């Protein structure tokens, strides 16, 4: 009986980790694309057909890819953390802090999309391009923490 539970946990762990990484890729790919969409959106004339097309594209990217992927990354990640007792490990606590910050960035991007839809464009294209680097830096730090486990 114990053997069956053990092998079931190993199989579950492997599928959870596979699912976790698949949705990490979707989430991060979406976070790379969205600020780019906002930059091109802001280059279109307010109220134009082109602006309406950007609003539709952004909505689809947020609702179909980015937000569902983030929810699944968290779900698989928290289940993995439970199975592996990751909370006791320094690398994981550092990773978790960066992921919470990245989720905050996600929230800011969603809110900015709602502003753009109302015709409000408070941030310059240049600043949005710089912000586009944030997910890249976060991913590099997270992958080093989870693979190298420096502490
Ligand atoms: C709240 C969100 C997250 C939680 C709770 C979480 C938790 C975990 C846990 C517990 C593991 C298993 C570690 C082990 O095998 O011992 C793991 C693996 C992994 N996570 Fe996350 N994670 C989260 C978000 C992310 C994000 C945003 C990324 C990348 C940008 C990421 C990348 C990875 C990678 C690459 C692995 C596989 C590491 C390996 O093969 O050993 N995770 N995650």
Q: Residue-wise over 7-16: b if at least 16 C-beta within 10 A, else e? A: eeeeeeeeeb
In whole numbers, what is the pLDDT of the chain averaged over residues? 94
Q: How many domains does the chain have?
A: 1
**What pLDDT score was predicted for residue 94?**
98
Q: Which atom of ligand 1 is nearest to the CA of 28?
A: 30
Residue 31 Cβ < 6 Å to ligand 1: no
- Per residue in 100-116, pLDDT (tens digit) is 999 999 999 999 999 99
Residue 77 Cβ < 6 Å to ligand 1: yes
DSSP characters for 18-72? HHHHHHHHHHHHHHHHHHHHHHHHHTSPTTSHHHHHHHHHHHHIIIIIIHHHHHH
Terminal CA-CA length for the chain: 36
Q: What angle do CA 145, 148, 150 make, to 5 degrees?
A: 70
Which domain does 37 fall in, by range? 2-148
How remote is the CA of residue 97 from the centroid of ligand 1, in Å? 12
- Per residue in 70-80, pLDDT (tens digit) is 999 999 999 99
């Amino acid at each position: 009986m114990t053997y069956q539970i053990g092998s079931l946990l190993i199989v579950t762990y492997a599928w959870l980790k596979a699912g976790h990484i698949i949705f990490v890729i979707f989430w991060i790919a979406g976070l790379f694309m969205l600020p780019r969409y906002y930059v091109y959106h802001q280059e279109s004339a307010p109220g134009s057909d082109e602006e309406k097309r950007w609003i539709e594209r952004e909505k689809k990217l947020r609702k179909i890819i980015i937000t569902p992927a983030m929810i699944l990354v968290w779900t698989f990640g928290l289940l993995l953390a439970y199975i592996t007792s990751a909370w006791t490990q320094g690398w994981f606590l550092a990773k978790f802090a960066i992921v919470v910050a990245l989720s905050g960035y996600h929230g800011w991007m969603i809110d900015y999309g709602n502003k753009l839809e109302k015709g409000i464009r408070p941030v310059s294209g240049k600043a949005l391009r710089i912000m586009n680097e944030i997910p890249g830096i976060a991913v590099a730090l997270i992958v080093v923490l989870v693979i190298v486990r420096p502490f």
